[in-house]
Chain A
Amino acid sequence: EAGVAQSPRYKIIEKRQSVAFWCNPISGHATLYWYQQILGQGPKLLIQFQNNGVVDDSQLPKDRFSAERLKGVDSTLKIQPAKLEDSAVYLCASSLAKVRSSYNSPLHFGNGTRLTVT
C-alpha cells in the first residue's frame, strides 16, 4: 500500500511569513494526525482529525496555526505568521483507529516537512 505522502519536504521562510503543508494519508485511514517535532525532542501532537472533523486540537497554537481536512482525506496545516520557534519537522500520520481508542492502532507516518524560519 502507498504510504502517507507529505509535501514539501523542505521549506525555508522568514519570520512573519506564512506557510502551508500538505498531507495525503493512507487510503481508508479515517484518523489523521499532525505532529510537530522540534530538534532534540519527540513528536508532539498538534491536531487530530476523525474523517473531516477535529477531535483534538488542544495543543494547537490557534492564534497562528490552522488545519483542515476537507472531504475527510487530504489535510493542510498552515502557519501564519511564522515565528522562529516554529522551526521543526512537521509530521503527518494516519491510522485506522477509532477516536476513543485512538492510540490502539499503529500510526503510519509520512517523511515530514522540515521547516526553517529565519
Chain B
Amino acid sequence: AQSVTQPDIHITVSEGASLELRCNYSYGATPYLFWYVQSPGQGLQLLLKYFSGDTLVQGIKGFEAEFKRSQSSFNLRKPSVHWSDAAEYFCAVGAHDRGSTLGRLYFGRGTQLTVWP
C-alpha cells in the first residue's frame, strides 16, 4: 500500500538558518511527489512537485526538494529560513491503488515548522 512518512512532527530553526524536512514514501512504481504548505487557518498551497527528469526540483518561496530513488526520499530544503516560513508542511505522493486506474494523493502527517527570530 502507498504511504508517506514524515518522521519529524515538529522542527524549530532560527531565522536565517538552513532547513531540511524529511519525507519517505512507499510505492512500487515511480511516484509523483509533492510538497504542500499550510499556514494557520489556510488551505494547502503547492510548493513544488516531481514527476520525472531532474531529481532536484525548484519550487516557490526559495524551496527545493531532491528525489532520491535509492532512499525512497523526497526531502524539502531551504538554505535560509524566513520567519514567514513558519507553517505546517505536507509531503504527498500521487499513486494508483492496486488494480485501480484512479490516481489519488496520499499525504504524510505533516511537519510543523517554528522559526525563532
A binds B: yes
Q: Which residues of A contact B (CB under 8 A)?
A: 3-4, 40-45, 48, 55-56, 91, 93, 99-104, 106-112
Contact between A111 and B41, CB atoms less than 8 A apart: yes
- Give the docked Cα–Cα distance between A6 and B104 (Å): 22
Tell me which residues across on chain A come within 8 A of B83, comparing CB atoms. Answer: none
Contact between B103 and A106, CB atoms less than 8 A apart: no
Interface string of B7-35 (1 = CB under 8 A from A): 00000000000000000000000001010
A to B CB contacts below 8 Å, 14 in the list: A41-B110, A42-B90, A43-B90, A55-B102, A56-B102, A99-B102, A100-B101, A100-B103, A102-B104, A103-B32, A106-B46, A107-B44, A109-B36, A109-B45
Tell me which residues across on chain A come within 8 A of B34, comparing CB atoms. Answer: 106
User: Which residue of chain A lies nearest to B104 when distances are taken between CB atoms in the complex?
Assistant: A45
Contact between B104 and A4, CB atoms less than 8 A apart: no
Contact between A42 and B43, CB atoms less than 8 A apart: no
Q: Which residues of B contact A (CB under 8 A)?
A: 4, 32, 34, 36, 41-46, 49, 51, 90, 92, 94-95, 101-105, 107-110
B6 to chain A, nearest CB (A): 8
Tell me which residues across on chain B come within 8 A of A104, comparing CB atoms. Answer: 32, 51, 94, 103
Tell me which residues across on chain B come within 8 A of A111, comparing CB atoms. Answer: 41-43
- Give the docked Cα–Cα distance between A104 and B95 (Å): 10
A47 to chain B, nearest CB (A): 11
A97 to chain B, nearest CB (A): 8
Tell me which residues across on chain B come within 8 A of A102, comparing CB atoms. Answer: 102-104
Contact between A106 and B102, CB atoms less than 8 A apart: no
User: Which residue of chain A lies nearest to B44 when distances are taken between CB atoms in the complex?
Assistant: A109
- Give the docked Cα–Cα distance between A91 and B107 (Å): 13
- Give the docked Cα–Cα distance between A40 and B103 (Å): 24
Q: List 4 A-B pairs, minimum CB-CB distance, nearest first.
A: A103-B94, A109-B43, A42-B107, A103-B103
- Give the docked Cα–Cα distance between A3 and B110 (Å): 23
A96 to chain B, nearest CB (A): 13
